[in-house]
Structure 1
Amino acid sequence: MRTRTLFVSFLASLALAQGSCPGGRVPHDLGEVCLAKTPVRVAVLDWRPLEDLLLLGVRPVAGADLADFPKWVRMELPQGIQDVGGRMSPSLERLAALKPDLILGYTGFQGRLYPELSRIAPTALYDYLPASGQLAAMRRHFLVHARLVGKEREGERILADLDRFLRERAEELKRKGLSGRPFLLVQAWAREKVYNVFTRDTLASELLETLGLKNAWTGKAEAYGLSRVGPEGLVRLVEEHPGVLVFLIAQPENNPLGDPAVGPLLRLNRAQVLPLDPTTWTYGGPHSARVLVEEVWRSVGGVR
């Protein structure tokens, strides 16, 4: 009898919780959000949820670092999105004035602000860059974003399309005889003499290995799953991996091929440096994943 009473009590409390949260409770990496209804005024404080919502056909009311977004992410920003400042230090006053009914962001940039953000509106923050499994995390977070804005079925369709696209590109690379070909993915900050080399635990590397390519870099990961080398280290990497495909992402002002300390040495080693478009974002969602793979596919067109 006591067990039955406890069970009935549990059901009653569950019903009460669901009744006060008709939109459902959605967990995130710092807690959970209670949705009274599907949000219509969503503020996004990082580029990943901004990209995801735009792909789903949802225009946020606010975003962060909007001026730089088009420089890195190949996606057009619709008019009417209010800029609330930097991703790491958004203006809480400006954000509150917009009266959002949901705030989305990244634990690494806005985690310390979670208490303040939660007082403005229900807030969901996710760790987009875990130490491993970043591709699985990207898919999971995209579906959560889709669910939060009432677009779960559309999100599932987009991921199914991405899977089909990746299979097709993998088959095409196999037909070209590139399966198993070693690569290095490098993001250049030539002015600072820093080159980020993507380890196998990064989203971008996981995507390229899904295509059948093999990451030749075995160095230790630092922040965001990247290893950092200087100009000499970059040249040495190419020397140690003859024939490796070097996929290079560099903004025009940071291109190492224009650096007299690096460019001539890379050419001397006959490195197969394959520049990707500067707006090839490696930390995004399904849209940026497709862009990255398309850029890689384009760049290997003349590879033998």
Structure 2
Amino acid sequence: MLKLSTKQAPLFEKEGRGGDLKTLAFFGNDFCQISPNPSLLKRGIRSVQIKLIAVVLSLFFANPLFAKIATLDWTVAETLIALGEKPIAVGDKPSYRVWVNHPALPDETVDLGVRLQPNLEQLLALKQLGEMVFINTSFYAKTTTNLNRFGTVEIVDFYQAGNAWQNILTATRQVAKHIGKPKQAEQLINDFSQKIAEIQPLVQPYQTRPIALVQFADSRHLRIYGKNSPFGEVLNQLGLMNAWQTEVNFWGFENIEITHLAKLPKNSRLVVIKPYPANIETALKHNTLWQKLPLAKDPLILPAIWTFGGVPSAQRFAESLADGLLNGGEQW
């Protein structure tokens, strides 16, 4: 996130007429005379900061079309990057690095802060570069009114009722259409299919053991991902069995208690996706039921992958799963 402190703002004090001390804020060719009044001074400093941020951003995002695209949604963000379009701004950039991580966000991409309450000052600074285009999902519909003050808002839904994978492919093509890169979308989808074809023979020895794909909320509660989910589709395309055959929500998972794991096929392989609470390993060691579960003996731990992602996350899951099955996963 680009932040400029008041010390960084180019403020100069100058003796005014009659001995009155006045502060002149110099910015490029603009001179703003600011009153010593604290509230007005603060407002003037904020104005200078916004202009400075805009100038810095213009250096990184010189292409007019390139500079316009922003999103609050991480699935849109990873899709944009995979299509070769660096987003100028993304919601909650630090958390993206924890939950998504790959593809990495450019360092110069602006952090819009809380995704459901984007930072208005950052948005105002971005607007100095010209008309903005925000590509969001319906999950952020409540922000549309505010965002319309700064540019156009396009809604693309990766997750909704219906076939999860087909929804993702449709949304990927819609994002590509909004940024004028339909060919890149087809290439992204084709690359995924080719990667699946490469991996499928490698994991063939593991096709007889059902996979229980989970993400821990705490030591007693977790999400388990079903067939109608992006990662469930990856399992299907790789010829692997999904241990969870029950219906799931349109996000592709079911919230369960750890006791439900005892109902899965006894030969199930537990695949755990990071991140999870820091104390999870210790808590599970002291959980009597967990210690008695057959699948607790050899859980496969995978790195953080965005379970609500698009094609890029699905491909990364396929690669990480294959690597884990063949070479072993990460440690708790």
Supply the distance in 2 between the matched residues of 1:202 and 1:289 (Cα, whole angstroms). 10
The letter for the 2-side match of 1:184 is A
Higher relative contact order (CA 8 A, sep 6+): 1
2:309 paired residue among 284, 294, 301? 284
The code of the aligned residue for 1:296 comes to: L
Task: Provide the residue aligned with 1:113 in structure 2.
Answer: 143
Structure 1 residue 70 corresponds to structure 2 residue 97: yes
Bigger radius of gyration, 1 or 2?
Answer: 2
Matched residue, 2:242: 215
TM-score, normalised to structure 2, is: 0.70
SS in 1 for 2:148: helix
The answer as to 2:215 corresponding to 1:190 is no
- What's the secondary structure of 1:221's corresponding residue? coil
* Mapping 1:143-154, distance limit 5 Å: 143-154=173-184
Q: Deviations over 1:65-102 (max 9, x none)?
A: 10111111123221221111212222345324312521
SS in 1 for 2:318: helix
1:249 corresponds to 2:290: no
Q: 2:149 & 2:70 partners in 1: Cα distance?
A: 14
Partners of 2:157 and 2:178 in 1: CA distance: 17
1-side partners of 2:89 and 2:153: how far apart?
14
The offset of 1:286, in angstroms, is 2.1
Distance 1:63 1:261 in 2: 38
Residue of structure 1 equivalent to 2:326: 301
Out of 88, 92, 98, which is 2:126 matched to?
Answer: 98
CA distance in 2, matches of 1:290, 1:276: 14
Aligned to 1:127: 157
- Local SS of the residue matching 1:146: helix
What residue number does 1:81 align with?
109
- TM-fit CA distance, 1:136: 1.5
- 1:255 & 1:167 partners in 2: Cα distance? 38
Structure 1 distance, partners of 2:75, 2:187, is 19
- Structure 2 Cα separation of the partners of residues 250 and 208 of structure 1: 18
Alpha-carbon RMSD = 2.5
Which amino acid in 1 is paired with 2:308? Y
In structure 2, list runs of 5 or more residues that go unmatched.
Answer: 1-63
Partner of 1:170: 200
Query: What's the TM-score, normalizing by structure 1?
Result: 0.76
Alignment size in residue pairs: 259
Give the aligned partner of residue 71 of structure 2. Answer: 44
Percent identity of equivalent pairs: 24
Question: Closer, same or farther in 2 for the Cα pair 1:65/1:51, shift >3 Å?
Answer: same
Q: CA deviation at 1:63?
A: 0.8
Is 1:273 aligned to 2:303, yes or no? no
After TM superposition, give the deviation of residue 166 of structure 1 in Å.
Answer: 1.0
1:204–1:262 Cα change, 3 Å: farther
